[in-house]
Amino acid sequence: MKKRTVLAGTLLIIVGLLIGLGISTRMGFQEVTLATETGISQETTDFLSKLSTSLSEVAEKVKPSVVNISTTKTVTVRQTPFDEFFNDPFFRRFFGDRFGHDGGKRKFRSSALGSGVIVSPDGYILTNNHVIKDADEIKVLLYDKREFKGKVIGTDPKSDLAVIKIDAKDLPAIKIGESDKLHVGEVVIAIGNPFGLDHTITMGIVSAIGRSNVGITDYEDFIQTDAAINPGNSGGALVNSRGELVGINTAIFSTSGGYMGIGFAIPSNMARSVMKSIIEYGKVIRGWLGVTIQNITPELARHFDIKEDRGALVTDVVKDSPADKAGFRRGDLIVEFDQKAVRDSTNLRNMVANTPPGKRVAVRIIREGKERILYVVLGEFPENLAAQSPGEYSNVLKGVYVQEITPDLREKLDIPAKVEGVLVTNIDDESPAYGILRRNDIIQEIDRKPIKGIKDYREVVSGIEEDESVLLLIYRGGGYIYITIKP
């Protein structure tokens, strides 16, 4: 009986609590009703799900072909105005001697990160030249976390491409697509290691094709994209919806150093041509037509009785060049090269450079208002027209890169026709000329000897002694100045 009474009492308490909860709910608390419908049509959901699945499939397929590249190199810096402060005993008491100097220069180890793309199962990797330039050590980290030492097979600063190799087999090589078939608005995916974040995927569209005169490389035919590209993406892959490599991510346009919606990639067709030449010959061998060209303008078109608004106008023909032998003349408008339409002078220059020497191609021109087809066998781009290598000299001009002033450069940099010489394209940090010469300076005289081109430059510079100072006449910023460089 007692047990029944206790049980009944317990039941009454439970019922009372339940009633109390119900009363509380009615008095102030509301029941939560969860949504059971999204309001989005099944058709829309199916479409977006299919798109999401497709992009995910492409990303998962190509990610293993993209690698992380880390480099270390020795960097030399000059003394700064703060060296006396660094040498102060009070400063050294807290920070030690690591800020000391050795004869005006200090060396330290610098590290950097970039990306690369596996293009063959036996270990060949495409990347940017600036990613591995001057590197003492290259480490390649694969998607499966294996790490290898990278070996430089060859570089091409003119296109900012490089080929390295790792000792590995059966690697997941990417399929190289046809960048010439890209269209503005086409969906592309960028894969790389921005800020060291491995295998980051970003998506966008092709914003433009054939971008040139950007000022990044000598040979420019960039794909512009709004797929997010940041520092560390350099050398990574730009792929199309079929998972094919259509570009090597190279640079961004930015005022902040980060992504601003404009990125540039080297087209896969150019990258393929450069890569094959490097692997086969150890250097890039480019085709040569032997003409100087410029863009066609409405005024020039009227003068030459040309109705076309595109093409490359021949301003000169090099004697005994392939173009000379094929019958090209000054005033010819080149509108088609090897069955491909010519947009402008830069476009033609890239097409010729990417064509192997010895190939016979048909070139459609307009001469005196009439179309003609000329057949030309391309030659190899002459070395004396290439940029000067700084490694040949041990005098005050070591580490100075120069090149001929081409019509394209003269127009781009607004160089007057009367100005002759060689154009300074770069100066190594360790060169005695560093901080004195500048990029885009034009060297007109060396020790009062006129310089009209690479040939004159080589002859004069090769005769300068190691401990000899030189006097240069420079054209800079619209004026002439004399400067001296001391050893």
277 is annotated as an active-site residue: no
pLDDT of residue 322: 94
Q: Domain 383-485 classified CATH 3.40.50.720?
A: no
What confidence score (pLDDT) does residue 23 get?
46
pLDDT of residue 33: 77
Confidence at residue 115, expressed as pLDDT on a 0 to 100 scale: 93
Strand-pair partners of 313: 294, 333
Residue 409 has a pLDDT of: 78
Q: Does the active-site annotation cover 160?
A: yes
Given 156, 160, 408, 456, the catalytic residue = 160
* CA–CA distance, 91 with 103 (Å, rounded to integer): 20
Catalytic, out of 212, 234, 345, 431: 234
Residue 26 has a pLDDT of: 47
Residue-wise pLDDT for 90-123, tens only, equals 444 445 554 544 445 666 677 788 999 999 999 9
Is 101 a catalytic site residue? no
Q: 3-state class of 244 per DSSP? A: coil
Tell how far CA 327 is from the center of its chain. Answer: 36
CA distances from 342 to 45, 278, 368 (A): 44, 26, 18
Every domain of the chain and the residues it spans = 50-284, 287-380, 383-485
Distance between CA 8 and CA 16 in Å, rounded? 12
Would you say the CATH fold of 287-380 matches that of 50-284? no
CA 97 to chain centre: 39
Q: Which DSSP symbol is given to 235?
A: T
Which architecture, in CATH terms, is 50-284? Beta Barrel (2.40)
Given 130, 207, 221, 408, the catalytic residue: 130
- Note the pLDDT of residue 427: 84
Positions in the chain short of pLDDT 50 = 2-3, 6-7, 11, 15, 17-19, 21, 23-27, 85-86, 90-94, 98, 100-103, 387-391
What is the CATH code of the structural domain delimited by 287-380? 2.30.42.10
